[in-house]
Structure 1
């Protein structure tokens, strides 16, 4: 049986001891700051899991009109808005910074020019108001957000994180212990959706003009009449677009048949994700890494807002006796609440709460936990794939919370 290095007996004893230091007897308030990409977010949560206040400044439309995120622009907008966002969150919570017990801030991974704004401002507040600093790993925060809304989620559990920049399948063993089963090789789903939507020029149609690529493709899928059979998903998709472009598409035009292309792309992406998750579940069963009575799949990240993908994953869960959980769509995308909640998790476990934090640096890349990808590959797991035939006729509705769903 594969035994992760992190799960040594001595470390488990240390974790248990540390958890007894803070305990849960005294309510604490944690303020979280998020600036890893293009959203400036602040959230305030207490150690009992109550959401006290929040504020968010989205740069979505700015970058949508620029054809993608431009880091220097994101940096400037974070710098212009971060103080106001924090003050708005405090006002919505009817709190002052003196009443906050600690400040949690995203420090990795993400765009360096974006991360630096949140990290510097978080440290500045900690020094000014004499508060401890809690550095947060962005993907760990996404992984644990569901525990704020569903207290039944216990460690260990399986988590799929899908967004514009990441696609990760991992086991969450504790607040800061993860086993990485697999991750995307090139584009993450959200990034692929954005690129495809831009090539299709569906932004030229009013109903798609303010939507992220993923949300636009999901909405177009609901209007489809048929599916194309894709293999080698992105390459085939691009060949279809290239052939249409050769016939000529005006700058303000849209490629004919885009709905069916979008539906096929979304179906193929969903099937691919479902197959990888199913293989991960088979691996966990073989290695006995999650007890049968704790089999839970948590799905988070911006692309988790996609109801079509969520439905496919739920079918897999039902067939393999897993409980399917995802946070509310608003909290799947980047936000300050998830950072504050990760701060709460760390505060309660007495892990990563610093009074001396000058040496803590940002990092643009950071692996989630310990990789067991080679061991997963060595198992050479063959599956009888769960059938997703009920997804053949998608019915999709996009609400306001799903418009920016790729971060």
Structure 2
């Protein structure tokens, strides 16, 4: 079965073709980062309009790359939520309309399920069950994953997500938007000079909190005005150390408490090289395995949606939705998902 995947939950338009026999055939992505940078963050209305401009050309792109036609598509998977309402509506209405015209089934995919399963696109995918760290601009969660639709929340952020804290701290340091990657790059030239708190590091649970860390950075910035290049780099270094130390410790605690030895890391912050370095070392010491999606699949993309949809469709023996009505779910708890109904 060949599944077309459509991702439009926020500021990236992603399309992909996934074959349940041959694997990923093609994928294409357009990022709106440059457009939103002028405003210092995502503007929902602009995001929605840009998805409208990009979705058809990107569909044509993946079909041409895979040497396929619309008639080769067996089903269409799309992100129904969570995300920005207007952005989700673009992808959802496009997917359902195209599916209706082709008379093929649709699969509505939870955006976070796409991220959770993205590492399974790799050549040596992790086996179920595993602990998953989903860490991005909007989410910092630890999940136990026993199979498709079998997710148990182990820990969640009580306030800011890790990626959100990266972006807000980068703004405090004058690094612009999006700040996370810029902060990580700057941290490479920093050194151990300051000491920031590690919120909830020894809380006895698997929850996260990063708002206090961001506030501590603000205090540090105010104390060292005007900031020079060296001070900025040293603050960035310590901030990254604090976040990655917290994430690493919580992951190892989750593995120990669940008795599992497989860890999966996904989401935009999962691309952070310092985090990967620490997790690689920690899991090696404990004789555990850690898996990541390739860097291009850490951020939002159509490949993960096509794959998640294909896995659900396969479990349902090809029996997807055929009513072609649609709605979006801007807020959608991953724990509400269930195993695919046969």
TM-score by length of structure 2 reads 0.89
Closer, same or farther: CA 336–160 of 1 in aligned 2, 3 Å: same
Q: Determine whether 1:279 maps to 2:250.
A: no
- More moved, 79-88 vs 359-368: 359-368
Greater gyration radius:
1
How far apart are 1:225 and its partner, in Å? 3.0
Closer, same or farther: CA 370–34 of 1 in aligned 2, 3 Å: closer
- Secondary structure of the 2:334 match is coil
* Corresponding position of 2:153: 180
> Hey, what's the Cα distance between the residues in 1 that align with 2:289 and 2:236?
29
Contact 1:194 1:213 in 2 (8 A): yes
How far apart are 1:320 and its partner, in Å? 2.6
* Corresponding position of 1:369: 335
Q: Determine whether 1:242 maps to 2:222.
A: yes
> Hey, what's the Cα distance between the residues in 2 that align with 1:262 and 1:33?
35
How far apart are 1:353 and its partner, in Å? 4.6
Q: Determine whether 1:340 maps to 2:306.
A: yes
Contact 1:135 1:352 in 2 (8 A): no
> Hey, what's the Cα distance between the residues in 2 that align with 1:368 and 1:352?
23
Q: Determine whether 1:133 maps to 2:106.
A: yes
Contact 2:130 2:264 in 1 (8 A): yes
How far apart are 1:242 and its partner, in Å? 2.8
Write out aligned runs for 1:26-65 (5 A): 28-65=1-38
Q: Which runs of 5+ in 2 are unaligned?
A: 198-211, 338-342
Residue 121 of structure 1 is aligned with which of 94, 112, 133? 94
Q: What CA deviation, in whole Å up to 9, does each residue of 1:228-275 have, x standing for no partner?
A: 11114222101112334xx457xxxx7651100000000000111112
How far apart are 1:212 and its partner, in Å? 3.1
* Corresponding position of 1:233: 213
CA RMSD, 1 decimal: 1.9
Residue 307 of structure 1 is aligned with which of 248, 255, 273? 273
> Hey, what's the Cα distance between the residues in 2 that align with 1:226 and 1:130?
60
Q: Which runs of 5+ in 1 are unaligned?
A: 1-27, 204-210, 372-407
Count of aligned positions? 323
* Corresponding position of 2:70: 97
* Corresponding position of 1:83: 56
Q: What CA deviation, in whole Å up to 9, does each residue of 1:32-72 have, x standing for no partner?
A: 00001100010001002522122111101111221011111
> Hey, what's the Cα distance between the residues in 2 that align with 1:29 and 1:73?
31
How far apart are 1:79 and its partner, in Å? 1.3
> Hey, what's the Cα distance between the residues in 1 that align with 2:189 and 2:279?
22
Closer, same or farther: CA 70–168 of 1 in aligned 2, 3 Å: same
Contact 2:196 2:213 in 1 (8 A): yes
> Hey, what's the Cα distance between the residues in 2 that align with 1:94 and 1:159?
35
- Secondary structure of the 1:106 match is strand
Contact 1:175 1:346 in 2 (8 A): yes
